Structure 1
């Protein structure tokens, strides 16, 4: 295989700008087919994005002989079934985060990748973005000394700019999403902590539905002790006053701190009270750096940028923080 000819399952909003066009911009890659259950919407997407083929049947896309890799961008409820179907057909898979409804489903996906000996990558795409790679290098260079602890806050009002919280929003239906907005946003943040700090020694959390307005938790706290001694504390609340909203992650070291948002474009390094600010340009297609790495991996030109095994660790954190138990 010398070129990736991708097919998207679930060509909804997330694929319009964030990811879909990147398959035509990445080297040795093109988008040749898309699928959505609503045939009219699938056809419209294909027309607007100049994609040669569209389907309303997932099996037709998976078994299209021209499609040699599959990107699954449906809500999490379908991730397990569709990933395993594509792997069984011998097609490498790039699947959106969260990887699945829960860690047990994620385990089955990992097992299927081994069973069929087909490649699986998960869309924890911040791993490949310049801002977050710079933070990783600052940590490794010990710019702020030895890391001691991390304090993360994601505080949003019920009506926020990050995600629309309308009644029809599948993200607040646990049967489709696995949980609430925590399950949609926290995978990015927790995956980065694993990427930065490595193996975990212990973890636990608290989750409550304080407002009672929906059937999901709207306040989650999580605590991680890493094997290297770094401690992580995270708070996610989606019912604060507008004036109290925050998107903040601060890494504290023995010489200073690194501060940054998860949905922003600036890093602030503070040493001895002096601040240095590092600005980054917004990315037009936020998943493009990751998709380029995934394409290279599928073509045997690079390592897996985020394996199923790595993403499974994040799923276990989500389950533990929200006390989800599975048979």
Structure 2
């Protein structure tokens, strides 16, 4: 039997797709990026020509309905994720949707229902799950190298955006809760929260507080919260987007040791336990989403499990909404 090829149509062609994801669709086995959509005709044509994509559209529905395409990658701002995902599912196409999955828990539940009501598949782009760096952390946890995990301490701090950055269209939409869901927290925290869910499983309780400390834009710029997992592990997280210094640090404290690592800067993983100290380093990936896209292609072909389901995306949205006071 001839191997099924996943022929992708991509909706949205912004900076995030230039290196992080777009080229990877052409490099993964049995995967082809055959079409791209953006409302600006000049920009979408330029993108297609530069990346060797044979078709381009300015109408998302026309791309979705193209008979050559059997899977849709949604890389637009989050306010349109569910609209395009539901349209693609109803057209009989599998879907790979960027994070945050949608704007709110309410909309996430509607997307869950749409997946259940249609025969096609959906995966969420919480792509760090499939990167070797984070898979190593999961393996170290499963091997009980730190005993029973008891507590996570996570800190993320970024320096304030400059006046120029605040006016940059590539950044400006991320600061608009109507488009992004909740500013830089909603842009970055989904990766962190999803990794905790990936590492530790079901969540029991969530509480938190968020605040717009500087008033530079509409979204809250400081967030603090706690998650109690069903396995009794307690997570403490703080996010500050107007800090004096940059911090990207996560520590998992266990009954017999400690793991220290970063989420975005990819510092070497440090393991400290009764055997001493060990460090694990990984080469940076050219296309950070390529391992995830490989897993998604395998899932769409029926050769693997879903690397991140719509239900898991809903759990992440519940945490984001609770920490920012939306529910």
State yes or no: 1:16 paired with 2:15. Answer: no
Unpaired runs of 5+ residues, structure 2, are: none
Q: What CA distance in whole angstroms lies between the structure 2 residues aligned with 1:166 and 1:202?
A: 38
**Structure 2 vs 1, CA of residues 49 and 139 (structure 1 numbering), >3 Å: closer, same or farther?**
same
What's 2:97 paired with? 95
Q: How does 1:1-327 map to 2 (within 5 A)?
A: 2-159=4-161, 165-166=166-167, 168=169, 169-241=172-244, 244-265=245-266, 266-272=268-274, 274-325=276-327
Per-residue CA deviation, residues 70-93 of structure 1 (Å, 9 max, x unaligned), is: 000000011011111111100000
**Could you report, residue by residue, the CA deviation over 1:226-250 in whole angstroms, capped at 9, with x for unpaired residues?**
1111000000010111xx3200000
Distance 2:265 2:133 in 1: 9
In the TM superposition, what is the alpha-carbon distance from 1:260 to its structure 2 partner? 0.5
Q: How many residues align?
A: 320
Q: CA deviation at 1:167?
A: 5.2
The CA RMSD over aligned residues, in Å, is 1.3
Give the whole-Å Cα distance in 1 for the aligned partners of 2:209 and 2:87: 35
Partners of 1:106 and 1:315 within 8 A in 2: yes
Q: Contact 1:154–1:245 (CA<8 Å) still a contact in 2?
A: yes
- Structure-1-length-normalised TM-score: 0.95
- CA distance in 2 between partners of 1:272 and 1:75 (Å): 46
SS at match of 1:99: coil
> CA contact under 8 A between 1:150 and 1:252: conserved in structure 2?
yes
Separation in structure 2 between the aligned mates of residue 173 and residue 264 of structure 1, nearest angstrom: 25
Runs of 4+ with >4 A deviation: none
CA contact (8 A) 1:101 1:178 kept: yes
- Matches of 1:110 and 1:239, distance apart in 2: 35
Task: State how far apart, in whole Å, the 1-side matches of 2:122 and 2:278 are.
Answer: 39
| CA drift at 1:11 | 1.1
Q: Deviations over 1:14-40 (max 9, x none)?
A: 110000111111111111000000011
Deviations 1:164-210 (A, max 9, x none): 54453210001100111000000000000000001111111110111
